[in-house]
Structure 1
Amino acid sequence: MYTKEQASQLKQAFWTAFGQYMGPVLSAEGLRTNWINYKTGVKHIFFRMQADNKTASIAIEIAHPDKELQQLFFEQFDSYKTMLHSTLDEDWQWQLHTTDEYGKTISRIYTELTPVSIFQKEDWPKLISFFKPRIIALDEFWSDAKAAFEV
């Protein structure tokens, strides 16, 4: 078992390593990108990568405070589902109106990897191999689809 500080240091070490690994990778538009804190450029839409002691996930999160508008964004993504899954080369799970770890209502389109632990350095290659192609594919999808989500 790790103390909170040790856990925090291990997480930070992983994300730093991942960021350095992804540093040379350019976006679909040929730009340098902060892959860990990916900016979609559309308010209330986020690409999130998360890992803990059991699972890793990568997700499109729609966090609009108005549930009806959140649902409209979700439905808009649904109209791009074939393109998204084709770009990702896999099907993801779709959740309309779930709650995040803070109790806030969000909608998610995501995939998970289990069992892996960010606290086990021997799992880091699996985590990197999980996150890298998916965040790159999300970026590729977003470069084609983003205009439809801008207001």
Structure 2
Amino acid sequence: MYSKAEKSKIRKDFWTAFGQYMKPVPSAEGTKVNWPNYKTGVKHLFFKMKAERDFASIGIEFTHTDLELQQLYYEQMEAFKHILHDTLGEEWQWSMHHEDEHGNLISKVEKTLHQVNVMSQNDWPNIISFLKPRIIALDEFWSNMKPAFEEL
């Protein structure tokens, strides 16, 4: 069993390692990017990566508190669903107005890898191998589609 401080340190170490691993990878536009803390540049629209004790996930989250606006962003993303899935090379799960771990209603599009544990360094290569191609593909998708969301 890990203490709260140990869990926090292990998670921090994982994200630091992931960031260092991804550091030489430029964005689709050829610029430097902080991959673990990817900034979409659109308010209330985030690319979220998680590494937990029983799964890792990556997704697009729409967090606007105005549920009609949140739905508008979600539906705009749905309009690009085929482009997104073609860029990713796989289909992801879609969920509108889903309650997050803090009780907030969000909408999201995500992919999850089960049976990995960020607390085990032996699982880190699997988690990184899961996250890396997907965040790069999301960046490629976003470099083309961001203008459609900036106008909302």
TM over 0.5: yes
TM-score range, shorter chain: over 0.9
State percent identity of aligned pairs: 57
What residue in structure 1 maps to residue 93 of structure 2?
Answer: 93
Shift >6 Å, 4+ stretches: none
CA distance in 2 between counterparts of 1:147 and 1:99 reads 28
CA distance in 1 between counterparts of 2:148 and 2:2 reads 44
After superposition, what is the alpha-carbon deviation per residue over 1:39-76, rounded to whole angstroms, capped at 9, x for unaligned? 00000000000011100000100001100110111100
TM-score (norm. length: structure 1): 0.99
Read off the aligned partner of 1:33 and give its amino acid letter: V
CA distance in 1 between counterparts of 2:95 and 2:145 reads 20
What residue in structure 1 maps to residue 110 of structure 2?
Answer: 110
What residue in structure 2 maps to residue 58 of structure 1?
Answer: 58
CA distance in 1 between counterparts of 2:7 and 2:81 reads 36
What residue in structure 1 maps to residue 46 of structure 2?
Answer: 46
SS at match of 1:47: strand
- How many pairs are equivalent? 151
Read off the aligned partner of 1:106 and give its amino acid letter: I
What residue in structure 2 maps to residue 143 of structure 1?
Answer: 143
What residue in structure 2 maps to residue 36 of structure 1?
Answer: 36
After superposition, what is the alpha-carbon deviation per residue over 1:104-145, rounded to whole angstroms, capped at 9, x for unaligned? 110010000010000000000000000000000000000010
SS at match of 1:36: helix
Tell me how far 1:100 sits from its aligned partner: 1.1
What residue in structure 2 maps to residue 122 of structure 1?
Answer: 122
Tell me how far 1:101 sits from its aligned partner: 1.1
Aligned Cα root-mean-square deviation (Å): 0.5
